Chains A and B, each alone.
Chain A
Amino acid sequence: MRTLRQKIAEDPFLGLLLVAPLLFWVIVTLVYPLLYASQLGFYNVRYVGAPARFIGLSNYSRILGDPNFWKACLRSLIWTVCNVAFQVLGSLLVALVLNQRFRGRTLIRNWIILPWVLPTVVLAIMWTWILDPTHGVVNYLLKSGGLIASPLKFLSSPQWVMPTVIFINVWRWTPYFAIIVLAALQTIPKELMEAALVDGASVMRRFWHITLPTIRPVLSVITLISFLWSINIFDTIWLLTRGGPLDFTTTLPIYIYKRAFQDFRFSEAAAMSVIMFLFLLGFAVAYLRTLFREGAEG
């Protein structure tokens, strides 16, 4: 009796037929909107349904000359780099701790995922209240501990807002990545660790020479995922600050949204989306290539 794999090998049409629903789904939900956005970028549509005029590359030249676009790019860069760094390092640290034997480990392993499970809107409301300058528990503790004289405006002062929003997002995503790293840590053969221990290798040497090389592919993948997810994050920032105060947390996705739905510059927003898409595509391809090359060499 022939297996499905054999049947597909003999009849490529069958294979195509089997992937067709998924292909169709991808075309409808991804390719079509992307093509539409690309097309929109060459017109001067202010909002959905409004009359359009072909203006060639004007939107692109306007965007590239718009200082606010570059400021949003810079903020996106800061936001993404900080998120990736803290999420990856944080998840590694948490996973290493959870990989040790201690009392209550199972309980913590189960509950650590909670921040990731929380709906974004709940998380935003919760942190808004926790950090509120007059009613929030953080300011209360800082003030009653004599650490501050006047309340800190975590979400409304230019100095504090970006670090605060980054902290909340890192707090949210780190447990998720920690679980993935933990799974990778558990694939390290026990015998290998025991042999190193017998040979007198220190904790740091075991970490650098056994743990890190073993989980490196997983760390590379979560770095890429964390980068792509972080740079695209809209909901958390929007719900916490709406990109404010002023534009201090207006990253590129927030700026695109504001241009489309507040300033009614649909075409400019579409052109910005295309630029962002091309950048992310280029980054992902370059990153994966490097990864595979290193994998092949290693």
Chain B
Amino acid sequence: MRRIVFVGGTLLLLMGLLAWSAPVELVFWHMEARPHRVERIKELCDQFNAEHPGIKVIPQVQSWGEIYVKAPAAIQAGRGPDFMLCIPDFLTYIKALGVVQPLDDLIANLQGEYTFIQSSLDPYFFDGHYWAVPIYGMDFVLWYRKDLFEKAGLDPNKPPRTWNELLDVCEKLKTSGVVEYPIAVPGAIHMATDQLIYTLMVVNKAEHIFGEDPNEIIFDNPRTVEAYAFYKKLFDYSPPGSENWKWDQPRTAFFTGQVAMVMEKGHYIKGWVDNTDLPLEYLGAAPVPIPEDGQPGTIYYSNGLMLLTDDPQKREAFATFIRWLYQPEIMSRLLHMDPGFFLPVTQEVLYSDAFWSDPIIKEKTAAVVIAIESSKYGKLFGFTRDTVNPNVGAISAGNILAWTAQQITVAGLSPAEAVAKGAEKMWEAIRQ
């Protein structure tokens, strides 16, 4: 009997010790599914876990294509992650489930140590709280092929700066015969089209989709109509079939020299290195051209991390992870998973040697600087006011900006008619 009591007591003690010494586990969902990004995120988590024996961050890869369905289902079933990657509209979508935790303390703490690039932080502040910690941003620039410009007799160091110049360059490229189609423009009902159109809206001072009242749609206005009219002009210079183009087709057309220009994000730098044998110096970059009475700008959004658990131990572990990740050397390694694409969200990373040490960034410093400069003027649709409509996710998930574009390119409506229809669809989308 004494033996049984002894063995039982020892077992209980061991179990208690094990429970006490077990690390706090944080399941982390991210949607950076390209293999080199998966690898880099895993590498960083492993390093963090090795340096912090009391915490174990477990990265799990998801896809953007499925996450809108998978995350709510998993959260409802009690099998959701402890924290996950988000963009602002996805955050509003998950927030409606009541699991997203305010992060005001953590943001205040980080603000004490780092200076945020404000546009990366703003979309995550609404309803009086910060709901996510931004980790990297992304925005649009005009990419152009210097080699093709030169062949067409254009100055490769003078990219178009205004809408009129852009149309002029398109015409010259076309008439020169160097390319049949000067620019690639996505036209599918897809996020790629949404983002290009919103960029044109931003530079034409039509960045607000909602009024001061988040339930009021002000999309139907002359400035938006102008942006769509300009989009149509560009679309006419794009290869046939662009009505179905998303991310990849413009990229292929650009890398193969079928087109000479494209407006897109910074992943074109690594894409160029990986997919062409041409020197990187042929890849030119410029800020998004603006109309004569426009403003500098682009779509800009930061990806953030949102916390989905109210467990105090996990909350503390999450804060530790974020503080560790925010160190410029560590953050730079995260951003280098696709050099030039992921932009810093703090001045400390921006001005660190670590960020600029990457060989590709070193070679394309000018392009990265343009992207970073542009991000200062960046906006995101639905997040340009202090208050956010909780159903804004339905506007982006429904790709209503792109749907409006197809009213012009496919149904043949005028820009004004199309924008009026788009506004109607937005009303329907945010209806309770």
Contact = CB atoms under 8 A, between A and B. Distances in A.
Contacts of A248: 410
Q: How large is the interface on B (under 10, 10 to 19, 20 to 34, 35 or more residues)?
A: 35 or more
B260 to A, nearest CB: 15
Contacts of A46: 96, 391, 394
Residue picked from B239, B240, B393, most chain A C-beta under 10 Å:
B240
23 contacts: A46-B96, A47-B96, A49-B72, A50-B97, A133-B239, A134-B239, A134-B240, A153-B243, A157-B410, A242-B189, A244-B189, A244-B243, A244-B410, A245-B188, A245-B244, A248-B410, A258-B398, A261-B68, A261-B69, A262-B394, A262-B397, A262-B398, A263-B394
Q: How large is the interface on A (under 10, 10 to 19, 20 to 34, 35 or more residues)?
A: 20 to 34
Contacts of A128: 244
Given A246-B406, A246-B410, A262-B398, 11 more contacts: A47-B96, A49-B72, A49-B75, A49-B97, A132-B241, A153-B243, A156-B243, A241-B244, A244-B189, A245-B409, A263-B397
B403 interface: yes
A90 interface: no
Interface of B is mostly: helix
Interface in A248-285: 248, 258, 261-264
A261 B410 contact: no
Nearest to A139: B240
A264 B406 contact: no
Interface string A144-186: 0000001101011110000000000000000000000000000
B58 to A, nearest CB: 23
Contacts, number: 89
Nearest to A240: B244
Interface string B392-432: 01100111000100110111000000000000000011000
Residue picked from A49, A157, A158, A245, most chain B C-beta under 10 Å:
A49
A134 B244 CA distance: 13
A261 B69 CA distance: 7
Contacts of B241: 132-134, 151, 153, 155-156
A244 B403 CA distance: 10
A49 B75 CA distance: 8
A262 B69 CA distance: 10
B374 interface: no
A245 B406 contact: yes
A245 B243 contact: yes
Contact of B188 (A47, A50, A244, A264): A244
Given A150-B240, A153-B240, A242-B189, A48 B72 contact: yes
B93 A263 contact: no
B241 to A, nearest CB: 4
A245 B393 contact: no
Interface in B41-72: 68-69, 72
A153 B410 CA distance: 11
Given A156-B244, A242-B189, A263-B429, A49 B73 contact: yes
Contact of B407 (A132, A151, A241, A246): A246
Interface string B200-217: 000000000000000000
Interface string B378-393: 0000000000000101
Contacts of B429: 263
Contacts of B391: 46, 264
B76 interface: yes
B258 interface: yes
Contacts of A132: 241
A44 to B, nearest CB: 8
A147 to B, nearest CB: 16
Interface string A116-150: 00000000000010001110000000000000001
Contacts of B394: 46, 262-264
A134 B397 contact: no
Contacts of A134: 181, 239-241, 258
Nearest to B99: A49
A48 B240 contact: no
Nearest to B181: A134
B103 to A, nearest CB: 21
B188 A242 contact: yes
Interface in B145-191: 181, 187-190
Contacts of A48: 69, 72-73, 76
B397 A261 contact: yes
B232 to A, nearest CB: 15
B23 to A, nearest CB: 29
A48 B410 CA distance: 33
B419 to A, nearest CB: 15
Contacts of A241: 244
A246 B403 contact: yes
Contacts of B403: 246
Nearest to B97: A49
A132 B245 CA distance: 11
Query: Which 9 pairs, one residue from A and one from B, show the smallest C-beta to C-beta distance?
Result: A156-B243, A133-B241, A133-B240, A49-B76, A245-B410, A48-B72, A49-B72, A156-B244, A262-B398
